[in-house]
Structure 1
Amino acid sequence: MSYMAFHWGLYEVENAMTDGVTVRPFHRDPAPSPIGLYAADPALSRARIRRPAVRRGWLEAKRGGRDDGFRGQDAFVEVEWDEALDLAASELDRVRGSFGNEAIFGGSYGWSSAGRFHHAQSQVHRFLNTIGGYVRHMDSYSLGAARALMPYLVAPMDRLMSEHTDWATMAAHTRLFLTFGGVPAKNAQISAGGTSAHRVPGGLRRMAEAGVRFVNVSPVRSDLDTGADFEWWPIRPNTDTALILGMCHTLLAENLYDRDFLKRYCVGFEVFRDYLDGTRDGEAKTADWAATITGLPAEEIRQLARDLYATRSMINMAWSLQRAHHGEQPFWALIALASMVGQIGLPGGGFGVCYGAENLMGSPHRRIKGPTLAQGDNPVGGFIPVARIADMLLHPGETFSYRGEDHSYPDIRLIYWAGGNPFHHHQDLNRLMRAWQKPETIIVNEIYWTPLAKAADIVFPATSPMERDDIFHATREPCVAAMKRAQPVYGEARDDYAIFSALAKRLGVADAFCEGRSASQWLRHLYENWRQQLIDDDIELPDFDTFWETGIIEFPQTGEPVVMLAGFRDDPQANALETPSGRIEIFSQRIAGYGYADCPGHPCWLPPQEYLGSPVAERYPLHLITDQPATRLHSQLDHSPNSLDSKISGREPIWIHPDDAAERGIVDASVVRVFNDRGSCLAGAVVTDAIRRGVAKLSTGAWFDPTKWSADGSLEKHGNPNVLTIDLPASAFSQGCSAQSCLVQIEAFLAPKPGLSAHLPPRGIENFTEPQ
């Protein structure tokens, strides 16, 4: 038996390198994700990239003809490796020579591989840095607003995520668990780098058994499952900030807030107080005021605020709330509410951001930094916030703001992407499709014929994690494991390292990129360096050969409970925060000084451009929630049996309330058209009362499958909700995405259903079976 890891878990492999290879759950995982069980399924090979391929129109132009093709719609030509590598190296050299490395964008999103060496993002960034640098992205679609904001208020998100109070401590001490957006176990199937034990289902169940009261504030009931009854508050989407402000006002008006905590650990409460009571703008943010915005009863809002103050309370907030227009505000309001309650740093009290987003949060294990492939230094200073890629391509030279500074969009001539799928992550995909035609060359390393690969010019076939050796390690996991190759390489696929090594040789930087090591030598080098570093933490690991033979090594644990910000509470001077004041900033003078009207210096209610209280709702009366899928990670393995079995007539399911369905003549399991001014898609109806009326839910990750790739857009056949979502910054401060601020209409689709092509190779690529 050997081991294999993905971001959704550690698994055991039997009969490796044979036709009978099987993947089964890690024996110590109490709630393993089913996603990884299909990693060796033969059905996955149907969408594999067999050989290097070049878009026909681009290739004809390089050979002296014209490029009449449209990226995404054009046919491909398979070529030999040497020709594809020569073409890519020549383009990289041409662009950096003619326009500088500032004209190269290095795209990757980090979720491609859980291994520490064959990590696509590290590989592509290391390579591009070796040849002179690239334009990078900042932050993430998942956390664009929060990553920008939280260092000003409390601490960087990475620190907070790795220090969340553990589940056992909450079961012992928490009495009230209030969560905005639930604690969706489907999201917590994953952690960056993987996980050896999925903790969320058991953690919630043990808290419920201990008598913890759960309140789930969410338009969707099912994003919390404690194994017992809980209170569901079906709030109007995008109005959580108003609800929190109403509770804060109740605490203020009834003198139920912790003055000592605010004085010792916080700054700026006085400014926020004047906003709450209406001194600043003439409108008190009372529970009655909040009720008119949220659709929730005022007296229940007041009572919940009282209950938070009266008992040990944990206030949790899902990442989805900050993926919205003015997405900074709910997170900032959360910090203000938790500070007024005054339990931050106490066992079982405070806040979470968020339990359920990744399996990492709530781990009881030590935080041990893992082995990492150095990416090198990037000489290029240019960057974009990740969700501004379409703006960058469409508006080179224009100015954008980010965290108080102005920057200019670079003029990108070449994109190199390895790991990720922007035609999954980005909003308003029809707009992105138009922007995607702007660069002169797009190069992609990919395992499957994803929408990204179909919209590239040069495509290199990459190996899957099952086809290479690597090392599993993740933050706050109790072990390190050897990931041993379990399947033969498909077709002519190569590791990312092999691809970049060949390109580096052609560009004269092989020594700098490879440092004279093969992939297997790099694994040994990374492990042994890491092993020496851990000696300073009193952790002794065996040598590489012993580790590789043993397969898995456990870390010693302290057994100490994890309580987020306990050190800061014990001694706020010795353990000062990294904020400008060293304390929690309810009012941030620095952010206020930036002068952003859409992100002032304290938490406040700013109506989103699209929500059920906006004029747009007169035309599009349903608020669309686009959550993470249960059957895959983002869009990974959308073509696996696990994902395909969840679809309705081949389309992604969309949840709709029975009353909304009846008004539109929609019945369960029927195909519907979802549309707004930005685009339209087909989906399969799930009629359920587990969602608030006036709200629909369509999970992300269905591979983008338009009727025709074109500049004007067309009907998307597969259920990709990002043809509908708005490409609007959360604010000028963060530039985060606003995917959750989206209004749509839904109607029964009575026309003949168009055929699906999402998982088919592009024109010119005929293979569907494993090469012999």
Structure 2
Amino acid sequence: MPVATHWGSFVAVVDSGRLVRIEPRNDDPVPSPIGPGMVTAADDNARVLRPAVRKGWLNGLSRANDTARGTDAFVEVSWDDAITLVSEELRRVRAQHGDSAVFGGSYGWASAGAFHNAQSQLHRFLALGGGYTDSRNTYSTAALEVILPHVIGGAPWSYQSRMPMWDEIADNCELVVAFGGLALKNSQINPGGLARHQTRDLQRKCRAAGVRFVNVSPIRSDTAGFLDAEWLPVVPNTDTALMLGIAHTMLVNDWHDEDFLRRCCTGFDRFASYLTGELDGVVKDAGWAAGITGIGREAITGLARRLSTQRSLVMVNYAIQRADHGEQPIWMSVVLAAMAGSMGRPGCGWGAGYATMDATGVAPGRSSVASVPRGPNPVADFIPVARIADTLLHPGRTIDYNGRRLTLPELRLIYWCGGNPFHHHQDLHRLARAWQTPDTVVVHEAWWNTNAKFADIVLPVATSLERDDFAAGFSDPHLTAMPKVREPEGESRTDHQIFAALACRLGYQREFTQDRSEFEWVRHLYEQTRAGLGDEAALPGFDDFWRETTAELPALRGPFPGSFEALRADPRQFPLTTPSGRIEIFSEEIDSFGYDDCAGHPAWFEPVEWLGAEASSRFPLHMISNQPASRLHSQYDNGGHSLASKIRGREPVTIHPQDAAARGIQDGMIVRVHNDRGSCLAGAVLSDDVMPGVIQLSTGAWWDPAQPGLSGSLDRHGNPNSLTADRGCSRLSQGPSAHSALVDAEVYDGPLPDVLAFTPPHLEH
């Protein structure tokens, strides 16, 4: 049977209703190993089998010492009782505190599938019930999403269709400079589903065509070995300084594209005054940049010359904007590409997020696919996505966000469906404290992960293997049928079934379900998609699709709105949607906000934590908490592939041999990584793949604090967000700054505690 997931499409082998194994499809050239590992987790001991309620909440007890969530036992109850408890609590909170007191927490990576999209289901349910406080932007790209509309116009994600595709790069480009690298491990995934992986072969095509690559990253393997990339190991969080040094070198040597800057950009003169030091007395030349970035003056000068004399492409990965002042490297990369002379030329110029997911650079987009209608949210309040802990701890506080002043609402009920805040949020000890403040936390979960253990009411949810749907990946032109592979484990129900039951109790079941069964919804969304194409012959009928399992959407044809090629050709006829109609090197709008941490042009702001900070004398290692190769975020950390990557049950941490030797750390040892915010255990991997002074600890290990209510308590499993800081990139985006974290590491010589991340809490019946 076909299985579509965020990490690819597979074939499930089922025997008498039991899932035996998951195999790659024959037409996928680079199948992800995450898929086969799903079998291990399908019915493991961590599955939530029945509705469960935290014992203290059920008994109406106060939260003793603010530690009950995360430590308390649970009482299993019937579905009827669970639906009663949740519906009555929603009624109470709305009546006593207003609709804005309900927070709809979700994240788009919950599971593949057009209908069973957890975020859409939750937001539809809450909007029909009166409204809710929503979040804006994503943990992945918050800084990018906010800054780019100011600089190049368009919607936050419109850049995807405006940057060169891999085929164009192979045909036209000579030099790719990748800030943050091009790690192939990230191209395993695609939100919404993926038919087959193409990024590796497209990169090979570029290299075979003679394209040269430069990897600007603290990690050597952020580009594939077959690219033969030149590695420039940059001090983390200093990419902006490097770009400024390159830009200054272009300017003073008259290597910049003056014609494009004059016709297609605005504000270059003011920015040039910043480069030369006229504004602040600091000349941003190659020597200045070398002292900050650790990359030599000659290398910077040479890179400036190559960018401006070859057909070049400046790439930025998402990781570099998840840091203090994360807007700056994104903005500065656009400016650098504009100066270099290749902006708006075929296969060249600027792009972001290549290899971050398989869709990026593979296709400029796909035809529209119908989705579950959410309806308008009657509540206008929202929070920036990464400010959830601030909101819980400081209701009523006013914060800046993208030129607005937001008052953080008082949240009394958190309803979380899809995603795991105890994975993707920073400073998990602070989040754990904040999580004690609302009256009630309701979650839908398939496994007893940290999110479930910190809830009051846990509703067992079916996995993507246990329901019918069809997948439609981001920019992926394929639709893939997702028939149910197995029956839901235990008493699990789908998100839609749960919300339909709640809507029935609350009096709006017909509005929520529209009198359709789940399978009728799947058919309806497919046929809506088919009809929306105009020519129904473009897709087979639903029954044929369900039988054949795949269908291909028609390719999108450019030019797309905001094209840089059109801008270069005639900026008057093809203006951008920025205030000036051009690329905004200087933004009057951002300048008018008056932020001290985001000026009117890209600039170097010293990070709070980096290897040049005073704090590095105490914590001399910079931690890179990048995306894992063995799972998607925290999804299927209990799957076979992720479990096989552990070292004595802990997440692996990569340390340069020089740093390891100074601390007496040997390969395979369990080490304690720590700073003032917390500590965690991890298994040491010694490698010169990371530059000295840097350690790499991937995100996604289920957080396993020894004492959940004690700040700084040791995480036994290796979650880096035990150590990261919970502060916004700047007042502009308020995005997460996970990659600004200084730590130290030492051999852990105490009794090794058991990992309990995959162990359910105490359950009573």
SS for the counterpart of 1:351 is: strand
Give the alignment of 1:332-411 within 5 angstroms: 332-364=331-363, 367-411=366-410
In the alignment, the residues of structure 2 paired with residue 330 and residue 724 of structure 1 have an alpha-carbon distance, to the nearest angstrom, of 24
The residue number in structure 2 matching 1:770 is: none
Equivalence for 2:31: 32
| Structure-2 change in CA distance of 1:265 and 1:760 (3 Å) | same
Q: Give the equivalent residue in structure 2 for 1:22.
A: 21
Q: Report the counterpart of residue 126 of structure 1 in structure 2.
A: 124
| Structure 1 counterpart of 2:448, one-letter code | W
* Residue deviations 1:84-127 (CA, integer Å, cap 9, x gap): 11000000000001111110000001111110000000000000
Helix, strand or coil at the partner of 1:610: coil
Equivalence for 1:146: 144
Q: How does 1:508-657 map to 2 (within 5 A)?
A: 508-535=507-534, 540-557=538-555, 565-657=564-656
Q: Which moved more, 1:22-31 or 1:187-196?
A: 22-31
Deviation track 1:277-321 (CA, whole Å, cap 9, x = no partner) reads 111111111001100111111011011101001111111111111
Query: Which has the larger displacement, 562-571 or 583-592?
Result: 562-571
CA distance in 1, matches of 2:225, 2:469: 36
User: How far 1:197 moved relative to its partner?
Assistant: 2.2
Secondary structure at the counterpart of residue 471 of structure 1: strand
CA distance in 1, matches of 2:99, 2:664: 55
Corresponding residue SS for 2:184: coil
Q: Deviations over 1:746-767 (max 9, x none)?
A: 110001111110011111269x
Aligned residue type for 2:209: A
**Inter-CA distance 20–387: structure 2 relative to 1 (3 Å threshold):** closer
Contact 1:162 1:475 in 2 (8 A): no
Letter in 1 for 2:149: P
CA drift of 1:559 comes to 8.6
Q: Distance in 1 between matches of 2:242 and 2:388?
A: 33
Helix, strand or coil at the partner of 1:83? helix
Distance 1:517 1:239, change over 3 A: same
1:535 partner SS: coil
Letter in 2 for 1:133: G
Residue 67 of structure 1, CA deviation:
5.0
**Secondary structure of 1:659's aligned partner:** helix
What does residue 708 of structure 1 align with? 707
Deviation at 1:565, TM superposition (A): 3.3
Question: Sequence identity of aligned pairs in percent?
Answer: 49
The 2-side partners of 1:615 and 1:36 are apart by: 44
Q: Please state whether the residue corresponding to 1:289 is helix, strand or coil.
A: helix
Q: Hey, what's the Cα distance between the residues in 2 that align with 1:492 and 1:571? A: 62
Question: What residue in structure 2 maps to residue 721 of structure 1?
Answer: 720
Aligned counterparts of 2:120 and 2:365: Cα–Cα separation in 1: 24
What amino acid is aligned across from residue 758 of structure 1 in structure 2?
Answer: A
* Stretch moving more, 706-715 or 132-141: 706-715
What residue in structure 1 maps to residue 113 of structure 2? 115
Q: 1:307 matched to which residue of 2?
A: 306
TM-score by length of structure 1 reads: 0.96
* Residue 475 of structure 2 is aligned to residue 476 of structure 1: yes
Distance of 1:296 and 1:106 partners within structure 2: 45
Distance 1:425-1:539 versus aligned 2 partners, 3 A rule: farther
| Aligned partner letter, 2:651 | E
2:271 aligns to what? 272
User: Counterpart in 2 of 1:461?
Assistant: 460
- Conserved? CA contact 2:160–2:365, under 8 Å: no
Residue 427 of structure 2: aligned partner: 428
Aligned to 2:675: 676
Cα deviation 1:647-684 (Å, max 9, x = unaligned): 11111111111111000000001000011110011111
Counterpart for residue 99 of structure 2:
101
Q: For residue 479 of structure 1, what is the amino acid of its counterpart?
A: H
Note the C-alpha offset of 1:363: 1.3
- The residue type paired with residue 234 of structure 2 is I
Over 3 Å counting, the alpha-carbon distance change for 1:435 and 1:559 in structure 2 is: closer
Alignment correspondent of 2:83: 85
Query: Do the aligned partners of 1:165 and 1:564 also contact (CA within 8 Å) in 2?
Result: no
Alignment CA distance shift 1:709-1:508 (3 Å)? same
Shift of 1:632: 0.3
State the shift of 1:228 in Å.
4.3
Deviation of 1:490 (Å): 0.5
Q: TM-score of the superposition, structure 2-length normalised?
A: 0.97
1:20 and 1:275 map into 2 onto residues whose CA distance is 62
Q: Which amino acid aligns with 1:524?
A: R
Q: How many residues align?
A: 761
Q: Which amino acid aligns with 1:700?
A: T
Q: C-alpha separation between the residues in 1 aligned to 2:63 and 2:150?
A: 48
Name the aligned partner's letter for residue 645 of structure 2.
Answer: S
Instruction: Give, in whole Å, the separation in 1 of the partners of 2:225 and 2:585.
Output: 32
Residues 162 and 21 (structure 1), Cα distance of their counterparts in 2 relative to 1, 3 Å cut: farther
Contact 1:50 1:461 (C-alpha < 8 Å) held by counterparts: yes
2:466 maps to a residue whose letter is E
CA separation of 1:258 and 1:249: change in aligned 2, threshold 3 A: same
2:288 equivalent in structure 1: 289
Match of 1:47, SS state, is coil
Question: Counterpart of 2:590 in structure 1: which amino acid?
Answer: I
Distance 2:490 2:645 in 1: 29
| Distance in 2, Cα, partners of 1:658 & 1:173 | 40
Once residues 500 and 368 of structure 2 are traced to their aligned partners in structure 1, the CA distance between those partners, rounded to angstroms, is: 27
Q: Distance in 1 between matches of 2:555 and 2:428?
A: 46
State the Cα distance separating 1:263 from its structure 2 match.
Answer: 1.5
Deviation at 1:564, TM superposition (A): 6.2
**3-state SS of the aligned residue for 2:442?**
strand
Q: Paired residue for 1:762? A: 761
Q: Is the 8 A contact 1:659 1:693 kept in 2?
A: yes
Q: Distance in 2 between matches of 1:240 and 1:567?
A: 29
* 560-569 or 88-97, which deviates more: 560-569
Instruction: Give CA-to-partner distance per residue, 1:321-353, whole Å, 9 cap, x none.
Output: 110001111111101100101312212211111
Q: Deviations over 1:222-252 (max 9, x none)?
A: 1110414221111111111010000000110
- Retained in 1: the 8 A contact 2:366–2:556? no
Cα distance, 1:732 vs. partner? 0.7
Segment of structure 1 superposing worse, 413-422 or 567-576? 567-576
Q: CA deviation at 1:541?
A: 1.8
SS of structure 1 residue aligned to 2:35? helix
Between 403-412 and 204-213, report the one with greater CA deviation: 204-213
Closer/same/farther in 2, CA of residues 46 and 162 from structure 1, 3 Å limit? farther
Higher deviation after alignment, 350-359 or 461-470: 350-359
Q: For residue 642 of structure 2, give the secondary structure of its aligned residue in structure 1.
A: helix
In the TM superposition, what whole-angstrom CA distance separates every residue of 1:60-82 from its partner, at most 9, and x where no partner exists? 11xxx555461011110100000
Q: Give the corresponding residue for 1:769.
A: none
Matched residue SS, 1:35 = coil
Secondary structure (helix, strand or coil) at the match of 1:241 reads helix
State whether structure 2 residue 182 is matched by structure 1 residue 183: yes
1:549, distance to aligned residue in structure 2 (A): 2.2
Q: Larger deviation: 28-37 or 84-93?
A: 28-37
Work out the CA distance in 1 between the residues paired with 2:116 and 2:764: 27
* Aligned partner letter, 1:70: A
Q: Secondary structure at the match of 1:367?
A: coil
Cα distance in 2, alignment partners of residues 5 and 745 from structure 1:
41
Shift of 1:21: 4.2
Task: Report the residue type matching 1:312 in the other structure.
Answer: R
Contact 1:205/1:226, CA 8 A, preserved across alignment? no
**Deviation at residue 532 of structure 1 after TM alignment:** 1.2
Structure 2 residue aligned with 1:72, among 67, 70, 78? 70
Aligned amino acid, residue 538 of structure 2: E
More off after superposition, 356-365 vs 429-438: 356-365
User: Compared with structure 1, are the counterparts of its residues 573 and 546 closer, same or farther at alpha carbon in structure 2 (3 Å cutoff)?
Assistant: farther
**Partner of residue 262, structure 1:** 261
Change (3 A) 1:583 1:620: same
- Are the counterparts in 2 of residues 365 and 478 from structure 1 also a CA contact under 8 Å? no
> 1:172-195 deviations in whole A, cap 9, x for unaligned?
211111111110111111111122
